[in-house]
A and B are shown apart, each in its own frame.
Chain A
C-alpha cells in the first residue's frame, strides 16, 4: 500500500505526528500509522476467559458421560459388583462436572454485574434497540454471502449474541435445572436438592420426561458447540477482528482501520 500523500506533506520535525513511534530509520509513514491507531481493545477479562475454558471442559465431560449414562458401555466383569464401580464413576464424573459447571455459571452471572459491559452481553438480547436489528440483518447477510464486508464488533456480533443467549444462558439454565431435579431424585425426599426441585418433579409428574428433555438438551448443546467452533474459526479468518486469540488473551485486535 502506498503512503498517504497528505501525511507525507507534514514537515518532518515541525510537529511530532507520531510521538508513540520513534522508530528506526527504515520505518515508513504507513508503519507509523499502523502503530499509532488503537489496535486492540481489552474485551474479555480474566474471569470471563477462565469461565469460558472451564465451562468448555465441563461440557465436554458432561456430553461424554451423559451419553454413556443414557446408553451405557457394554457390560464388563472385572470383579464382583461390590468391588466394581464403573458406571458409578461415570455418573460421578457427570455429577462432578455438573457441579463445577453450575458453580462456574453462578460465578459468571456474578461477573456480569462486576465486570465490564461485554461480560453482560451473553445474558440478554437487546430487542428494544433499533440499531441492534439493523446490525443483526447485516450480520445475517454477511453469513448468507449477501454482503462482502462484515461490520466490526468489539464484543459479540448480534447473531452471536442471540446464539449465546439462547444456547448458553437459556440452554445451560435448562440443563442445570433439569439435571439437578434428577439429581434430587437420587438424594431423596427431604434433601436440599429435593426441597428446591421437588415442585418441578411434581409438576412434570413422570420424571422420565426430565430424562428425555435433558437428553435432547445435550444435543442442543452439541449443535451449539459445532456452530460456535465453526463460526469462531471462520470469523477469525474472514472477519475484521480477532476471534480465537481473543478468548485466550482477552484482547480484540482489528485488521483494518476503517471506522465503518
Chain B
C-alpha cells in the first residue's frame, strides 16, 4: 500500500510544524505510559508507516463517543481525524451521504481487505432481526458483520459497544447486544465509558499504529494502560475517604470543602477508568472534581446497579425498591420474631409437660 501517504506527510500538509509533531509524539508516549526512549520510535513510525485505514460505524448510540473524540486535546482531533488515521468511512463525520457514503464503505473494505480497523460506536439490537436499528436501508447488525469480516481488529468505542449501555439496560426491549457477543472471530479492544475519554481513544489508536499490534488488554479486553486502575485509586479526594470525611448532603459545608463523595453514591471504588489522572476537556476537570460522584459509566451494566446516588443501592432483583440493608433487616426481623415466638412456645410446652409429669411422680413417690 505504498500509495498511501504516511501520517507525518499528511500532518505536514495540514500545516502542522515538525515541532508540534514531536510534541505530539512525546505527549502520546507519556499518555501511553511509555518512556522517553519511545518518542523517536513513535516519530519514526509516523514518518515511515502508511496510514491505517479506519472504518467507523454507528449502531444504537447517542454519538457521545464521536463528540468526545473530536474534542481530543493531545493530539488534536483534527490531526487524528484528518491525518493520523485515514478515516475512510464514518457516516457521521464524512462529507458524503446516502449512496455515496455506502459506496465509500464498500470501496474501503475492498481496497484494504484484512488491513483496516473497524471502529464500532453503539451496538446492534438483535430483536426482530435487527430491525430496531436501520442504517443504509439494512439492519445495522448486517452492516456490522459485513464490515467486521475483513477487518484486522475491532475497536468497541464506548459503553454501548463494550457492554450495551443504556439501550441494553433492563429490560432491554430491543435486545441491544455488545459487539464482542456478535463478532467472535476478531481481536476486540473495548474502550468503555459514556463517552470514553478523548485522549484514551486517540492514545489507543496511536499505539496500534506505532507498534502494529494491539495494546496490552486486561481480562475484560480493555487497554491495560488506561483501565487497570480505579477512579478511587487515583482520586485526589482519597485522603478524605480514608479520614472518614464525607459529603453528607448536596451543598453542605463538606461539599464546599471538597470532601469524599462516597456517601453520595460515588462509584469511583468500582470503576476502572483514567478520569482521575487524564481528566476531561484538555485535563480541565472530571466529575468528582466538579463535585459530583462518579456514576461508573465505564463499567458493565452501570444502569442496572441502582441509583447513582446510593452506596448501598436498590436491588431490583427483589421486585421492590429496597437495598441490601432493608432486605437484610426485614429478613432478620422475621427470623427474630420467629425465634421469639418459638422460644415462647418452647417455654409454654415445657411448662405444660412439667404439670403433666408432676402427678405421675407423686404417684410413684
Contact = CB atoms under 8 A, between A and B. Distances in A.
Contacts of A156: none
Contacts, number: 138
Nearest to A218: B328
A219 B329 contact: yes
A74 B327 CA distance: 23
A211 B270 contact: yes
B341 to A, nearest CB: 11
B174 interface: no
B229 interface: yes
B301 A206 contact: yes
Nearest to B299: A206
B248 A74 contact: yes
B10 to A, nearest CB: 36
Given A202-B220, A206-B296, A219-B324, A75 B332 contact: no
A148 B352 CA distance: 11
Given A215-B325, A219-B329, A189 B228 contact: yes
A212 B326 CA distance: 12
A201 B242 contact: no
Contacts of A72: 244, 246, 262-263
A30 interface: no
A189 B224 contact: yes
A42 B47 CA distance: 82
B3 interface: no
A207 B332 CA distance: 26
Interface stretch (A3-11, A77-85, A109-117): A77-85
Interface residues of A, number: 51
Given A71-B325, A73-B244, A81-B240, A230 B339 contact: yes
Contacts of B346: 145, 234, 238
Interface stretch (B17-25, B99-107, B126-134, B310-318): B310-318
A102 B96 CA distance: 63
B296 to A, nearest CB: 7
B254 to A, nearest CB: 6
B190 to A, nearest CB: 11
A132 to B, nearest CB: 23
Contact of B328 (A75, A205, A219, A234): A219
Given A72-B263, A81-B240, A185-B230, A212 B324 contact: yes
B37 to A, nearest CB: 22
A115 B302 CA distance: 47
A198 B244 CA distance: 28
Contacts of A70: 311-312, 324-325
B324 A82 contact: no
B163 interface: yes
Given A75-B254, A209-B305, A216 B324 contact: yes
* Interface size bracket, B side: 35 or more
Given A73-B244, A226-B332, A201 B219 contact: yes
B245 interface: yes
A107 interface: no
Dominant secondary structure of chain B at its interface with chain A = helix
Contacts of A207: 270, 299
A70 B269 CA distance: 12
Contact of A205 (B163, B228, B241): B163
Given A208-B267, A208-B270, A234-B346, A222 B311 contact: no
A88 interface: yes
A27 interface: no
B312 A188 contact: no
A76 interface: yes
Interface in A226-243: 226-227, 230, 234, 237-238
A85 B242 contact: yes
A142 B124 CA distance: 59
Contacts of B233: 186, 188
Nearest to B241: A87
A224 B250 CA distance: 38
Given A2-B364, A75-B246, A85-B243, A222 B332 contact: yes
A219 B243 contact: no
B335 A223 contact: yes
B243 A86 contact: yes
Nearest to B240: A81
B140 to A, nearest CB: 24
A212 B313 contact: yes
Nearest to A199: B219
Interface string A155-198: 00000000000000000000000000000011011000000001
Contacts of B302: 206, 208
28 contacts: A70-B324, A70-B325, A71-B311, A75-B245, A75-B259, A76-B245, A81-B240, A81-B242, A85-B243, A86-B244, A87-B242, A143-B342, A148-B353, A185-B269, A188-B228, A199-B219, A205-B220, A205-B299, A206-B299, A208-B267, A209-B305, A212-B312, A216-B324, A218-B328, A219-B325, A227-B335, A234-B346, A238-B346
Q: Enumerate the 4 nearest inter-chain pairs by beta-carbon distance, A residue then B residue, closest first.
A: A219-B328, A205-B300, A86-B244, A87-B244
Given A87-B244, A223-B328, 6 more contacts: A75-B247, A84-B243, A206-B305, A212-B305, A212-B312, A219-B325
